[in-house]
């Protein structure tokens, strides 16, 4: 039973969005939606028309990632359509991978532009952890840690206020043994409650795990909205406020290490449909066969930076 006022507030906001933006955001065909045809995505593509834009491809993939998750949540919430949910979650994860990995490659070529806010990297990184796309998690984790270590530039040397992102990157560092040079990076001075969980991330006490999840879910409801100001590039995102991606990523890391997780949770946020659907899924969420607009956004950056390694799906167009 949900008696958390923030969850109720965000759910009401989401339901209102589903009604008011149905024709604009949720057309049956992804590419025919108003958001793609006449909104932010068309604006970013237009930025390429007359001149090369250093930021357009990163902003495009960023928006497409969040939009894909929005559609995934819509089909699950309004139609209980899990097939559509995983179809769009797969796109969400791949666009998230492109946002981080392709931006990191482009940033090196373009001498520091574009640049992704560290906090925004958190849900993108988490999406591939949740999808069990471990090869992409490794590439993204290296991109992010290299940037913190001043060897790359996608998130520069970080942001001490991006606590969720720091939490996920530190978890990855612990599991992969790929070290972060905290003397170079802008490391949080105040890291509660994430520091407590990091010290005990691999506990076998499931009551303790549930206690930490409760604390992290409360922090998620407080900090996600404040850090993102409830917006992501022209798209309202109560969906991310109701999706504790950092908690689900932590549980997936535990699962990968052979650790048990609780089967039931005391925090009501863990009972939201998107949360239970991905948590109960124990198989790899496959890559999408086709990624709309991938070629349109990547072709200009590859022409401008011909020496960077090209995405495999771009090569098989």
Q: Are 212 and 244 in contact (CB under 8 A)?
A: no
Report how far residue 17's alpha carbon sits from residue 11's, in angstroms, rounded to the nearest whole number.
10
User: Is the bond preceding 101 in cis, omega lying within 30 degrees of 0?
Assistant: no
Chain segment 268-285, per-residue pLDDT in tens: 999 999 999 999 999 999
Number of independent structural domains in the chain: 1
Q: What is the overall mean pLDDT for the chain? A: 91
The string over 129-138, giving b where at least 16 C-beta atoms fall within 10 Å of a residue's C-beta and e elsewhere, is bbbbbeebbe
Chain segment 50-79, per-residue pLDDT in tens: 667 778 888 899 999 999 999 999 999 999
Report how far residue 164's alpha carbon sits from residue 283's, in angstroms, rounded to the nearest whole number.
25
| Range in 23-27, 78-82, 166-170, 172-176 with the lowest mean pLDDT | 23-27
Pairing assessment for the beta strands 231-232 and 235-236 based on DSSP bridges:
antiparallel
* Burial category of 11 from C-beta neighbours within 10 Å (exposed 0-12, middle 13-18, buried 19 and up): middle
Residue 212 pLDDT greater than 50, yes or no: yes
Portion of the chain with pLDDT greater than 90, in percent: 74
Q: Give the pLDDT confidence score for residue 316 in this predicted structure.
A: 85
Chain segment 143-161, per-residue pLDDT in tens: 999 999 999 889 999 999 9
Cα torsion 268, 7, 87, 127 to 10°: value is -80
| Range in 54-58, 183-187, 261-265, 312-316 with the lowest mean pLDDT | 54-58
Residue 148 CA, distance from chain mean position: 18
Residue 111's pLDDT band (cuts 50, 70, 90) = confident
Q: Give the pLDDT confidence score for residue 293 in this predicted structure.
A: 95
Q: Give the pLDDT confidence score for residue 52 in this predicted structure.
A: 73
Structure token pair of residue 27: 């057309």
Report how far residue 307's alpha carbon sits from residue 310's, in angstroms, rounded to the nearest whole number.
9
Residue 234 pLDDT greater than 50, yes or no: no
Residue 236 pLDDT greater than 90, yes or no: no
Mean pLDDT value across residues 33-56: 82
Residue 107's pLDDT band (cuts 50, 70, 90) = confident
**pTM as predicted:** 0.94
Cα torsion 98, 104, 109, 112 to 10°: value is 130
Higher pLDDT: 111 or 231? It is 111
Portion of the chain with pLDDT greater than 70, in percent: 93
**Alpha helices, H only, the chain:** 5-20, 22-25, 34-37, 40-46, 56-79, 82-97, 103-109, 118-130, 134-148, 163-176, 194-199, 206-228, 238-241, 245-256, 273-280, 294-304, 312-315
Give the domain extent around 142: 5-315
Residue 186 pLDDT greater than 90, yes or no: yes
Report how far residue 257's alpha carbon sits from residue 117's, in angstroms, rounded to the nearest whole number.
29
């Amino acid at each position: 039973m949900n008696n958390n006022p923030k969850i109720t507030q965000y759910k009401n906001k989401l339901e209102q969005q589903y009604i008011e933006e149905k024709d604009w955001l949720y057309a049956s065909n992804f590419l025919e939606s108003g958001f793609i045809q006449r909104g932010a995505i068309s604006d970013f593509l237009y930025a390429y028309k007359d001149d090369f834009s250093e930021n357009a491809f990163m902003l495009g993939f960023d928006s497409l990632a969040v939009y894909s998750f929005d559609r995934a949540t819509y089909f699950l919430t309004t139609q209980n359509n899990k097939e559509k949910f995983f179809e769009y979650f797969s796109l969400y994860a791949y666009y998230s991978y492109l946002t981080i990995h392709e931006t990191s490659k482009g940033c090196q070529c373009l001498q520091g532009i574009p640049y992704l806010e560290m906090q925004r990297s958190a849900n993108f990184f988490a999406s591939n952890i949740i999808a069990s796309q471990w090869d992409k998690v490794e590439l993204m984790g290296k991109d992010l840690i290299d940037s913190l270590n001043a060897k790359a530039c996608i998130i520069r040397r970080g942001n001490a206020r991006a606590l969720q992102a720091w939490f996920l990157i530190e978890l990855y560092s612990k599991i992969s043994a790929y070290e972060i040079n905290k003397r170079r990076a802008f490391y949080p001075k105040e890291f509660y409650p994430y520091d407590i969980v990091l010290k005990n991330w691999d506990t076998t006490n499931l009551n303790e795990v549930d206690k930490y999840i409760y604390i992290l879910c409360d922090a998620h409801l407080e900090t996600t909205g404040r850090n993102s100001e409830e917006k992501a590039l022209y798209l309202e995102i109560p969906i991310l406020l109701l999706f504790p991606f950092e908690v689900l990523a932590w549980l997936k890391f535990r699962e990968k290490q052979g650790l048990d997780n609780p089967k039931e949770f005391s925090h009501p946020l863990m009972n939201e449909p998107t949360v239970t659907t991905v948590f109960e899924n124990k198989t790899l969420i496959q890559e999408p066969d086709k990624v709309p607009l991938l070629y349109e956004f990547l072709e200009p950056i590859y022409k401008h930076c011909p020496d960077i390694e090209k995405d495999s799906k771009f090569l098989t167009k």
